[in-house]
Every structure is written in C-alpha cells, then in structure tokens.
Structure 1
Amino acid sequence: MPRRLLGIIAAAFLGAATVTATAGTATAAAAPAPPITAVDFTGIVALSNCSGSLVRTPTAADTDPALVLTNGHCYEGGEPAAGQVITNRASSRSFSLLDPTGRRTLGTLRASTMLYATMTDTDVALYRLNTTYARIQQTYGTPALRLSLQHPTAGTDIRVVSGYWRRIYSCRLDGFAYRLRESQWTWKDSLRYTSECQVIGGTSGSPVIDAASGQVVGANNTINEDGGRCTLNNPCEVDQSGAVTVRPNIGYAQETYILAACIAPGSVLDYGRSGCLVPRPAASAARGARR
C-alpha cells in the first residue's frame, strides 16, 4: 500500500476500446446517465504517485465544481494516521486527464480544495477542482464517471483502471473482508478481488468500475505482496470472531458508496445526509453527538 505508491519501473501498457466523447449542453440540472459502453480510460486521471478518477454523483449538476477520487494514502500531505480525518484543506494538486485510449493526456486538471482524506475504516481522498463538469466536458469532451450509491455485489465483473500505469485490470469481486488490517490501519467491509487483478504500486486510487453499469463502486488500495500477516503491504482479513486470514497475492479496494452519499449540491460534504457512513472529522463528530 503506502510503499507501493512509486510502483515497479516496468509495466505493460494495455490498449482499450476507443469511444468518441461528445460535448453536451451545460445546464444547472443533473445530466442524464450516459449510455453504457466498454470500460476504457474515459474520466481517468494520473497523479504524481497514484491513480484516480473524475467522478460525480447521479444528482450532480453540470455547473457543480468537478471532483477527483483517489486513496487517502495518496494525499500529498502524507498518509493520515489511524483515527485521523482531514478535511477542507487548500490544495493546488494537479491531475493528468487521459483520453479514452489512455495513450494521450488531454490536459491538466487542478484542485482548489482537498475535501476529504482518511485511512480510518476506509482509504479514500476526494478533491474539488477549480473548474466545473460542464467546462471539462466542453474543453476535453470528457464526462465524469458516475459514483454508485449502492453496496456492490459479490461476483460482479469489474475493471480496475490505473491512470498512473495506463493499464486496465479485469476480474470479479470475490467477496468482502469484514475487517482488513494493514500495519496501523483497519478498513471495514473491503472489496476482495479474484486473483486475476494483480495490482501493483501506482495503481492505488484507481476506480473499481462495475463493467455492466459503468459506475464506480470502489477505490483500489492494496494487495498482499509477500504472504505477510497484517504488515505494511501485506494486509490480512479479520472476521467477526477475530480470526485472521492471509490471502497472498490477493488485492483489495475500499467501497465508495459510503462517501458518495455524503456529497451535497455544489460539491460539498454533508455528513448528515442519509447513507453517509465515512468517519467524520472531530468537530463534526462532536456536533453530531450533541444532537
């Protein structure tokens, strides 16, 4: 996980089916769902050390500031400690927006705010950009990926799309880890891949995409590299009775519907929204406890 960010020097670049993106008319209303096509690099971004994706909720308006999703451990300020939630930090982080084939960079997107980052219960970071969905569509012909608001289903055919390596992994959701422990961090209800998704360093933050719906259901974050037990880069599963299982060379991701539910109009976070299950920053948690 964290030490896997720089990746391995050599990686194969895989081609993907090319689709032609068309610019739509910007409106204040939520855009209709795009037609389902083969998963490619549309909406995928590369970070300096990780992967990520341009995302929106089903009800987002075209005029809302655009959002980029990646892992919490990809945060430029360093890995959040266990129990730490970081919110609303000014950021000028840049993201390279890829074309549908993954062979070209269309342009650079830039953050204005790091909205949310944590490695507690989950491993996610969400950035608000200094431009809107409409402007990105008009400039690059690129729509954002849709965030699912539903818990994913075991057996789902998925794609893990890495902007850093410009590579697509194909496998299925094997199931869910009640708790996934790696070094000081513990994550809840993590997605477990089948063995075909042999993710590597630099794939951290890649969206996990439901191949049938085209929606984002998770953020790729780790794999057990050496068969180690609950150590850095060697996560282990812990069941409800406390029993530990080690699955060498099996990768994992963190569910994103629990964060997607928190996104309110205007691309802000509202922890009081129904279905918002991510850990809250200390001040928000204290206010909630007083209600």
Structure 2
Amino acid sequence: MNPTSNLALAMLASLALGACMVPATRYEEARSAILVEQEAHRRTQSRLSDVSRKLDELHASLAEREKKLERLEADLAEEKLAAEVAGTERRFATEIVEQLRGELGRTGDHLRELAGEKSKLALALDAAEERARQLGQCEAEAADNAAIARDLALALGPQIKSGEVELAVVEGKPLIRIASSELSGEVVQEIGQKVVGALANVTQRHRASRVKIRETGADVAAEESAKRLRGVSDALVKAGLGSARVELSPAAEPGKGAAMLELSVFSADDAPSD
C-alpha cells in the first residue's frame, strides 16, 4: 500500500473517532479531498508510465539511426580504400611504362634482327600506357565520388540522421534514397526541397558529375513513375542543374515496400558543362 493510501486511511480513522465532535459536512469535505488526491496520484502515475514508454521508444529509434550512420561511414572508408588501391596500381603501371620505354630505346635501329621483339615491346608499351590511363581515370573518378558523398553527407546531415533521407554508396557511387511522396506532384515537400537544393549545390561544385534518377517500390506504375521522374528532373533543372546532366531510368519490375526515389550522383568524364 502506498503512502497516500495510508494517509487516507489515517485521516478517515481520525474522522470516524471524532465524528461526535466534527460536523458531517466537514467529514464529507475531508473525504472528497482525499478522493481527489488519490485520483490525482493515479493520473500522475499513468503519465509517468507513458513518458517512460515514449523514452524507451526514442532510445530505440536513436540507436537504429546511429547504426545507419556507422554503416555509411564504413561505406565511405571502403570507397577511400578503393581510391588508394587504384592510385597504387596506376603508379605501378607508370613504372612499367617507363621501364618498357627504356628497353625499347636500347634496342636501336642498328639491331634490325630484333625488329620482331621491338614490335612486341611497342605493343606492350601501348597496352601499358592505356592501362595506366584507365587506372588514372578510375582513381580520379573514385576520388571525385568520395568527395561527392562527403559533400552530400554534410549538406543533408540532419535529414540523414533523422532517417528522412538515406545516403549510401552503391558500386562506388553515392546514392540518395527518399520517399517518392517528398518529390511527387506539383508541390515539392520540405525534405524534397532540401534534397534538390543539396544536389544542385554539390553538382555545381563537381562540374563533371551527373545525376541518375529512378523509382522503386511495390506500387510503382510505369506511366505514373515516368511522370514523377520528369517532375524531379524539372525541379533539378529549375534549381540550376543542366538538363543534359540529368538521366532518367525507367521503372523496373514492381518491387517491395513503399515507392522510393533513388538519385545516384557520380563523376563522369563526358558530363556536359551547364
């Protein structure tokens, strides 16, 4: 029994013992006051239980969001490692090129009998130079994509932490996921506006970047999806992104879950300038 109930019983007992001296009206007033206090205590206990439950739910939600942030950091670290590996391979290929160039020079025209070997070395040199060029391009694109992912994470930090926007790295390219409802219709919602603004700012800083848009989800119809994708493209163009840098991907087969927009931002050598 809690202290309030003990107090109530004590007061009632006191009133009963002194009933001959206390008027009935005062007894009823005291009894009513006790009942009111008990009801207030019960309501307070109920509110405390509700607050405790809501705090538990909030802690669980925050823990899940922290896990998402940790996964994103791991993806970014993996992308950085890939860029470093590509750089090492490029330097190794460059060293091979210089070695082959030296060997080719030493053959000289006076060694005509080695013309066949010289031809092979020339072909190997060309192949090595092409490989070095490709590795250099991959290294540059990996570094650019890592920088794009970093800038998007900074621009959309609050929305990513709240779970309203998801930022991932898929096949080395930064990818934003957002509910289709945020960017559907004639009126772009607040979160959608922040995403459009962030994409416009980041792509302005990274001039050799493109944006590829597609929609996934169980309730994605091809005709409606195409209309929504055009609406998103128009919003990006209106925000300052050149239309030639926006690529629309048709809806695939219906998937699972609610309709989601996926906006992939990546570096591309053939990206046109605005």
**What's the TM-score, normalizing by structure 1?**
0.23
User: Highest Rg: 1 or 2?
Assistant: 2
Larger helix share, 1 or 2: 2
Structure with bigger RCO (C-alpha 8 Å, 6+ apart): 1
